[in-house]
Each structure stands twice: as structure tokens, then as C-alpha cells.
Amino acid sequence: MSLWAKNLAVLQQVAPDLAATLAATVVPDDHQVHPSRLGPPYLQVGKQRLTSSYDPVKEGQEWARTLEGDASPLVVFGLGLGYHLLPLMSPERPLWVVEPSAAVARLALEHQDLTPLLARDSLRLGADYRGIPQNARLADHPPTRRLHPGPYRRLTRFLAGEDGELGQLRILVAGPLYGGSHPIARYTARGFQQLGHETEFMDFAPFYAGYQVLSRVSKDQRAVHKLNQELLRFLGETLLARVRDFKPDLVFVLAQAPVAPPLFQALKAEVPLVAYWFVEDFQVLTYWQDLAPEVDVFFTLQKEPFFSELKRRGVKNYACLPLAADLEAYHPLDLSPEDKRRFGSALSFLGAGYYNRRQFFQGLTDFDFKIWGAEWELNSPLGRHIQDQAARVSEEDSAKIFNASRINLNLHSSPFHAGVNPQGDYLNPRVFDLAACGAFQLVDWRAQLPEFFIPGQELATFTSLAEAREKIGYFLAHEDERRQLAAAGRERVLRDHTYARRLAMALEMIQDFHPGILPCRQAQEPAPAPVTFPADHPVQALLDRLPEEAAPDLAGLVNQIKVSPDPLTEPEAILWLLHEFRRMVHRPGANGRG
């Protein structure tokens, strides 16, 4: 039996959820295990060695000796490959290990017999401090602390008895005039609201019509450029005016928002922190080069080599923040027969007509194939498959297409390839949207994909036209397998990939980069007892079905009603109506007020 199998068997007995997490963890390429000079393996993450490359066993023993003579409860920050922990395995001493990286924990279980530690249920991952007493002594594994200073500070605050949780923040989200990042900006604002923060969305989309008009007023491109720059300057002043009125703790800007370096400098004089989320391919759109150095935190979809480029340009605070799913926009639907006929097909694709898609899809024209979206050439070999004269598709119709299609094809865009981009890394929004709908998807292989979904279990993948054709034929003939993968993909999104979860992670990283800037929650009065209903009351039945992470309030109930595949009951319809009425009454601008 391998070390991995031996450790996993023990972990499955004492911590099955952690065992499942580590079993699904994909180790990044920059996590390398090599033989040390004396034989036992050592671990290196990027340029940081977590153990000695000469004699990791002796190094671990020497570290452990510094803790001899103290029998008090001990918390070790950093698992490494476990050399420093094995000498501490005394039954008399309570011991916990907090490891911030699932990939490192996976490698440790593959290369070290850690069953004495695992059998005690003493391994904790991330911010799971379950069972750890706040009076425990903290001992850090120095290489892990250097690699993860933010999680180390969080553990330190926890052991000091500090809550450390953020209070209600005032957050202003700034979106673009148009483009793919506009819905992401809306979902971002909604995600911050779901986390309980007072959030405003600065929506510049209504100004897009004016932007288009300016682009047509003159044949002189220099004059048009100057006019557009004046419009963008005006929109920047609008954002600054709103910031001065709203006084946010954080301005969170999405890619392609009408901002420029001078505006960021003005914003930083008005607000504690400014963050930017670059939801683009850094090699295709390069305007990030001017913006990244001007913000407090710069979030990306890609890692290396983007991180090295940012570092080379002097950017210090950057991190990868992947996309996610908005469950209000994308969820299972009970479609009418008319919608099933209009939107349904054996194979569908929704997205813009990029070059690689126009080339690739010509090899799929013998299928019952519907292509939805803009920027497609009607007078082309794909013309008879293009729907609605290549019109843009609304969010509502997008969800219907995803639900109605037997196979949703998801080919990431590329202006440089004739099909699948072999170097493709980050995941587009559709990966998460489709999974949130409980829809089956066939997606081109991306380097980051295994970090978020299990290929072959939660979605299907392809790397070439031949493989795509083979899998389309297979899954059209195997409906049960399609349904199983789609259901598993949706479960994964609900558990790990919502915007609320993603933005909570963003706020943690902002705190790590700038500790003490965002206000933390103060001690509060005990919350009033929740309203209860008789056990046989229909509302109580709904509350009993709520997932643990859902809020037991009207919004939480309605979100659960929306995603349920069951027919709508009368109590559910009444709750939904109350929720919509409440939204209308409290929306910005209601009752004549701004």
C-alpha cells in the first residue's frame, strides 16, 4: 500500500470531508518534490524550499527540539512534509497542525507516513480552527510562514482571542460601459450584498449609447479619440463624486471600467483601499500595465507568467481571484414546451463569434447544433446554425438555453488559434454558469480546470475536434451519465464556487495585504431568537431544507425556491411575491429618493 493510500484510509475514518478535499486536490506544477542529498524527499513551492534539500530529517528534529520541555497544547503553522512534526507525536501533548495549502497537504500525505498525526484528527486546512483552544502555544514552520503571511496573521489573531471578522463594510463596485465584465460587476455587487455589506453598484452601462454616438460624429479619428477621452474623464469625475458622497471603505473596480491612473490617485486620497479585478487575458489586453501599479490590490484570473510580469513592474499586492457563479441568474429551470422547442437542441453554443470558434464549429455542422450570440457571420458555412440573426442573448434566455440543451459546448475564445488553445489557463464565466444551471457541459481543456472541477466526474472535456465529436456522440447516447455529471457539477458550484464565497476570499486577501485597514466586527449584543413555526408549517418545511450556508431569512428562502426543480407551491409563490415587493420598495430611487 502506498503512503498516500495508507494516510488517506486513516483520514477517511476521522475526517471524511478533509479526505475528500485532499483526494480532489490537483497539485500545481510549481510544487516539486525531489530527493534530498541524503535521500529523503524535500519540497519546494515556486522558489521557496519548505524543507532542507540536504538533510530534511535532521532539520526537522532540530526544530522540534526547541519545543522540548513544554507539555502545553501546541498549534504548529505549517505541515511541510512533516519532518518537524513526527518528533512531537507524544500522546501526552495536545497537538494541532494548521496547513494553509491543500496542495502541500496532499504532497505530505503522498511522501510521509503521517498516520500518528491523522489518527488524532489534528490536521486542519486553511482557516479551520475547529477544536483548537485559544490558549494554545503557536509554533510556526518558518518557510510556511514566509509563503503564507496572511493566514499566519489570521491564526495569530484567533489564538489571541480576536474575532478578526469584518464588520459591515461600505463597498462601491465600479463596472464597465459594456462588455463581458459588465455582468460580472453586477454579480460582484450582489455577492458583497449577500455577505452583508452595504454595497452600491456604479453602473456606467447607460452611458454606452453616448459612447457609441461620439464614435460616429466625425471621420477624423483623432477628434473621435479626444471626444471619447473626454467622456471617460467625465465618467471618472462621476465616480469620484459618488465616492465622496457614499464614503466607502473599499472601491472595487472591474476590468474595462472607465478609470485611468490619475483617477486612481484621486480615489486613493478619498478612500482607505482601492482594488481592481482584471477579468481578462493579460496577454490579449495589455491596459493592465498602466493600472496595476496604481491600486492597493490587483486581482487576476491568471497566475504565472502574469505574476512575474506584475512583480517586474513593481506591483506588490496581487493575487488570483477566479470567477464564480451567480445563483440568482443561473439555476435549474422548469421550461415550458415552447421554450424547450425554441432554445433546445442536441448541441448548443452561446458566445461571441471569435476566430477559433468560427473555424472549430465548421467540423460540427452535421449535428443538431444551435449557435447563439453576437459577432457571427450569417453568410458563412455556419449560417444555418446561427440563431436570432446573431443577436445578443439576454441573461434570462442564456439560462433557458443552458437548461434546454442536451450538450452545452464551451470553447474558450482565442484570437490566435483555429480551435482549442493548448496554452489556455483560466476559466471563463460559462464554466461556472453552466454548472450552476445543472446543465451538462463539454469544455475545452484548461490548465486551471482541475483546481475547480473534477474532469470526467463533474464535467466533460476535450482537447481536439476529433475528441469533441467522439464525446458529443457518446454523451448524446448516454443521458444518465450526462445527468450525473451535470448534477455533480452543480453540487460543486453550490459548495465552492459562488460569488459570495469568492468575494469573502477576496476580502480576506485584502486584509492580508493591508492588515488593520478594513474595520473588524466589534462585540455585539446577542442576536434575538429566530422566529419559529410549528413543525408542520409549510414555511418551517422550507427552512428545514435550507443548506447550512444559506441565510434563514426571506432572501435565503426565495433563493432556495428559485433553484428547486419541484413545481411551485402556493406558500412558495407568496414568499417569492413578498421578496419581489420588498426589493421594489427598497431599491435605489424608490419613492422618489436616490
Q: What is the pLDDT of residue 587?
A: 44
Phi/psi at 349 (5° precision) = -140, 135
- In total, how many domains does the chain have? 4
Q: What is the pLDDT of residue 286?
A: 95
How would residue 360 be classed by pLDDT, with cut points 50, 70 and 90? very high
Domain end: 270, 287, 320, which one?
320
Separation between Cα atoms, residue 373 and residue 392, nearest integer Å: 5
Q: What is the pLDDT of residue 320?
A: 94
262-289 mean pLDDT: 95
- Position 530 pLDDT exceeds 60: no
- Position 100 pLDDT exceeds 80: yes
Looking at the structure, do residues 342 and 433 belong to the same domain, yes or no?
Answer: yes
Looking at the structure, do residues 482 and 530 belong to the same domain, yes or no?
Answer: no
Q: DSSP H helical segments within 285-394, as ranges? A: 288-291, 306-312, 337-343, 355-360
- Position 498 pLDDT exceeds 70: yes
Looking at the structure, do residues 71 and 116 belong to the same domain, yes or no?
Answer: yes
Burial 262-277 (b: 16+ CB within 10 A, else e): ebbeebeeebebbbbb
Looking at the structure, do residues 364 and 448 belong to the same domain, yes or no?
Answer: yes
- Position 339 pLDDT exceeds 90: yes
* 415 cis-preceded (ω within 30 degrees of 0): no
How many H helices and E strands in the chain? Answer: 24, 18
Within-domain flag for 392: yes
- Position 347 pLDDT exceeds 70: yes
Within-domain flag for 325: no
Give the domain range for residue 533: 526-592
- Position 260 pLDDT exceeds 50: yes
Within-domain flag for 345: yes
Residue 143's nearest CA partner among 36, 63, 70, 73 is: 63
Looking at the structure, do residues 308 and 348 belong to the same domain, yes or no?
Answer: no
Minimum mean pLDDT among 172-186, 207-221, 391-405: which range?
Answer: 207-221
Average pLDDT over all residues of the chain? 89
Distance of CA 386 to the CA centre of its chain: 31
Domain end: 455, 474, 496, which one?
496
75-88 mean pLDDT: 93
198-221 mean pLDDT: 85
Within-domain flag for 429: yes
Q: What is the pLDDT of residue 232?
A: 83
How would residue 590 be classed by pLDDT, with cut points 50, 70 and 90? very low
Q: What is the CB neighbour count within 10 angstroms for residue 154?
A: 22
Sign for the CA dihedral angle at 329, 331, 337, 342 comes to positive
521-540 mean pLDDT: 56
3-state percent breakdown (helix, strand, coil) of the chain, nearest 5? 45, 15, 40
Looking at the structure, do residues 123 and 190 belong to the same domain, yes or no?
Answer: no
User: What would the grid cell of residue 164 be?
Assistant: 478578526
Q: What is the pLDDT of residue 368?
A: 98
95-121 mean pLDDT: 94
Greater pLDDT, 178 or 348: 348
For 10-41, the pLDDT digits (tens) are: 999 999 989 988 988 888 888 999 999 999 99
Looking at the structure, do residues 192 and 84 belong to the same domain, yes or no?
Answer: no
Minimum mean pLDDT among 49-53, 142-146, 434-438, 518-522: which range?
Answer: 518-522
182-194 mean pLDDT: 97
- Percent of the chain scoring above 90 in pLDDT: 68
Separation between Cα atoms, residue 498 and residue 70, nearest integer Å: 44
254-265 mean pLDDT: 94
327-343 mean pLDDT: 97
Within-domain flag for 504: no
Looking at the structure, do residues 425 and 383 belong to the same domain, yes or no?
Answer: yes
Q: What is the pLDDT of residue 592?
A: 35
90-95 mean pLDDT: 83
Separation between Cα atoms, residue 480 and residue 485, nearest integer Å: 9
- Position 399 pLDDT exceeds 80: yes
Separation between Cα atoms, residue 566 and residue 232, nearest integer Å: 47
Looking at the structure, do residues 92 and 184 belong to the same domain, yes or no?
Answer: no
**C-alpha distances out from residue 206 to 242, 395, 517, 570, Å:** 16, 17, 33, 38
Looking at the structure, do residues 307 and 374 belong to the same domain, yes or no?
Answer: no
Q: What is the pLDDT of residue 135?
A: 84
For 534-565, the pLDDT digits (tens) are: 666 777 777 777 776 566 677 777 777 777 77
Domain end: 320, 351, 374, which one?
320
126-136 mean pLDDT: 89
- CATH number of the domain residue 403 falls in: 3.40.50.2000
Separation between Cα atoms, residue 506 and residue 318, nearest integer Å: 11
- Position 375 pLDDT exceeds 70: yes
For 45-70, the pLDDT digits (tens) are: 988 899 999 999 999 999 999 888 77
Greater pLDDT, 556 or 141: 141
Question: Are 150 and 507 spatial neighbours (Cβ–Cβ below 8 Å)?
Answer: no
350-355 mean pLDDT: 96
Within-domain flag for 388: yes
Looking at the structure, do residues 153 and 190 belong to the same domain, yes or no?
Answer: no
How would residue 241 be classed by pLDDT, with cut points 50, 70 and 90? very high
Within-domain flag for 558: yes
How would residue 163 be classed by pLDDT, with cut points 50, 70 and 90? low
Looking at the structure, do residues 342 and 491 belong to the same domain, yes or no?
Answer: yes
The 3-state secondary structure of 423-485 reads CCCCCCHHHHHHHHCCCCEEEECCCCHHHHCCECCCEEEECCHHHHHHHHHHHHCCHHHHHHH
- CATH number of the domain residue 206 falls in: 3.40.50
Separation between Cα atoms, residue 473 and residue 105, nearest integer Å: 39
Q: What is the pLDDT of residue 549?
A: 59
How would residue 507 be classed by pLDDT, with cut points 50, 70 and 90? very high
Within-domain flag for 42: yes
Q: Which conformational region is residue 294 in: left (phi greater than 0), alpha (psi within -120 to 50 degrees), or beta?
A: alpha
